[in-house]
């Protein structure tokens, strides 16, 4: 069994549990909450509710549940309102706990609903996608998208616990698994050269016994970064490093209306963009860029825009990135493969040149 982790945040520390099947651990949790007479509700998405129908029925029984649509469209103010009304309708009190089962979208949505309903109730994250397991379920960032940009509404609200069960990945569509692999590659690039080399020689795949260890390593890295810079306040580096590839990726998602690309697919193109920008800054060489793009492609992910997008629209979307300071963009760049840094005051002409290489028109 893969050993657990603790996200160390003093009084707000919480465990990450790893197992093949989360049913037994969740059954213990539900018995504990029932004994304490604490109301419980379940939020999930259509993908998880369908793929894990037997698990949901067996584990959660008659617990009130709300099923929302899959995709970034659910990280919206109207759907957020539905979640709040659902909690109120079922009289979930301040002692209540919201269980959130699904991918990164419903995790962000449920986390923000828990953060704001009655000024904050506990939540438990139960990620069912690779992307949510290695990234979005850990760290306490919750949020919604606006038409102006990605994750512009949100709160820091850490879960009571995270339950990661690799059995969920057996039913994950290949495209969704690949999207999660983009975040795994990101971790190797930003802080673990050995992990990157491992992915280079042996791309991550479902049904592999090594997968649990890879997921745990990603969570371990994120937990350490969050411990050191919980609210992304470090002047340089810190939690912002987790956004490697995301400044490009979020712009792609916004310009395409959060529908054409899965989040991980946009991040994959963003990783190629970050590598190319790093090369233009003289930090890494062409051979390193080629290695990044080979690893991304080996995980069935794009390294270029699928279709040309307007350069002006992509550059404008970047201005809504949360890392903008005093009107200037900051990027996460690669000092080498396995070490990232934040850098500002980058000539926009360099960014435009990278976008053109990625297929912008």
Active-site entry in 17, 198, 222, 276:
222
What pLDDT, on a 0 to 100 scale, did the predictor assign at position 299?
A: 98
| Annotated catalytic residue 198 | no
SS3 77: helix
Please determine whether the domains at 5-171 and 185-204+212-358 fall in the same fold group of CATH: no
What pLDDT, on a 0 to 100 scale, did the predictor assign at position 149?
A: 87
Phi-psi region at 139: left, alpha or beta (left = phi > 0; alpha = psi -120 to 50): left
| Annotated catalytic residue 145 | no
Q: How far apart are CA 144 and CA 72, in angstroms?
A: 9
For the chain, the structural domain boundaries read: 5-171, 185-204+212-358
The count of residues in the chain is 361
| Annotated catalytic residue 158 | no
What pLDDT, on a 0 to 100 scale, did the predictor assign at position 178?
A: 97
Active-site entry in 160, 217, 246, 323:
246
Q: How far apart are CA 168 and CA 21, in angstroms?
A: 8
Question: What does DSSP say about strands 97-102 and 40-45: parallel, antiparallel, or unpaired?
Answer: parallel
| Annotated catalytic residue 243 | yes
What's the average pLDDT block by block, 10 residues per block, for the chain (361 residues)? 89 94 92 96 97 95 96 95 98 97 97 98 98 96 92 96 94 96 98 97 89 96 96 90 96 94 97 98 98 98 98 94 72 97 93 98 94
Active-site entry in 239, 299, 322, 330:
239
| Annotated catalytic residue 90 | no
Active-site entry in 250, 280, 299, 330:
250
| Annotated catalytic residue 222 | yes
| Annotated catalytic residue 183 | yes
The architecture of the domain spanning 5-171 is 3-Layer(aba) Sandwich (3.40)
What pLDDT, on a 0 to 100 scale, did the predictor assign at position 209?
A: 80
Active-site entry in 183, 230, 253, 265:
183
| Annotated catalytic residue 232 | yes
| Annotated catalytic residue 323 | no
Active-site entry in 160, 263, 291, 330:
263
Active-site entry in 176, 243, 265, 276:
243
Q: For residues 7 and 14, is the Cβ–Cβ distance under 8 A?
A: yes
Active-site entry in 72, 122, 230, 232:
232
| Annotated catalytic residue 119 | yes
What pLDDT, on a 0 to 100 scale, did the predictor assign at position 328?
A: 76
The architecture of the domain spanning 185-204+212-358 is Up-down Bundle (1.20)
Q: Which residues pair with residue 127 across a beta bridge? A: 102
Question: Is the overall model pTM greater than 0.85, yes or no?
Answer: yes
What pLDDT, on a 0 to 100 scale, did the predictor assign at position 143?
A: 96
What pLDDT, on a 0 to 100 scale, did the predictor assign at position 323?
A: 67
């Amino acid at each position: 069994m893969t050993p657990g982790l603790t996200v160390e945040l003093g009084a707000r520390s919480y465990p990450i549990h790893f197992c093949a099947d989360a049913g037994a651990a969740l059954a213990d949790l539900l018995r504990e909450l029932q004994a304490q007479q604490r109301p419980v509700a379940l939020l999930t998405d259509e993908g998880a509710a369908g793929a894990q129908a037997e698990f949901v029925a067996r584990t959660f029984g008659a617990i009130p549940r709300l099923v929302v649509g899959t995709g970034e469209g659910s990280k919206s103010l109207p759907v957020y309102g539905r979640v709040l009304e659902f909690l109120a309708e079922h009289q979930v009190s301040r002692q209540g706990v919201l269980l959130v089962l699904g991918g990164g979208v419903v995790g962000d949505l449920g986390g923000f609903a828990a953060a704001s309903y009655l000024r904050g109730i506990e939540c438990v994250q139960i990620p069912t996608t690779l992307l949510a397991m290695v990234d979005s379920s850990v760290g306490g960032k919750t949020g919604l998208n606006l038409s102006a940009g990605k994750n512009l509404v949100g709160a820091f609200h850490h879960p009571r616990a995270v339950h990661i069960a690799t059995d969920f990945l057996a039913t994950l569509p290949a495209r969704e698994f690949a999207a999660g692999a983009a975040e795994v590659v990101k971790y190797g690039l930003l802080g673990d050269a050995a992990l990157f080399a491992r992915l280079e020689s042996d791309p991550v795949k479902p049904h592999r016994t090594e997968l649990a260890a890879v997921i745990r390593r990603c969570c371990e890295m994120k937990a350490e970064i969050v411990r050191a810079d919980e609210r992304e306040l470090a002047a340089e580096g810190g939690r912002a490093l987790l956004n490697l590839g995301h400044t490009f990726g979020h712009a792609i998602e916004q310009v395409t209306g959060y529908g054409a690309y899965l989040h991980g697919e946009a991040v994959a193109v963003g990783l190629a963009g970050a590598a190319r920008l790093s090369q233009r800054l003289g930090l890494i060489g062409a051979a390193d860029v080629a290695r990044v793009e080979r690893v991304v492609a080996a995980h069935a992910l794009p390294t270029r825009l699928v279709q040309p997008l307007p350069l002006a629209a992509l550059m404008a979307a970047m201005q809504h990135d949360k890392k903008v300071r005093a009107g200037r963009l900051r990027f996460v760049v690669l000092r080498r493969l396995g070490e990232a840094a934040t850098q500002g005051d980058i000539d926009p002409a360099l960014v435009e040149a990278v976008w053109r290489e990625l297929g912008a028109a």
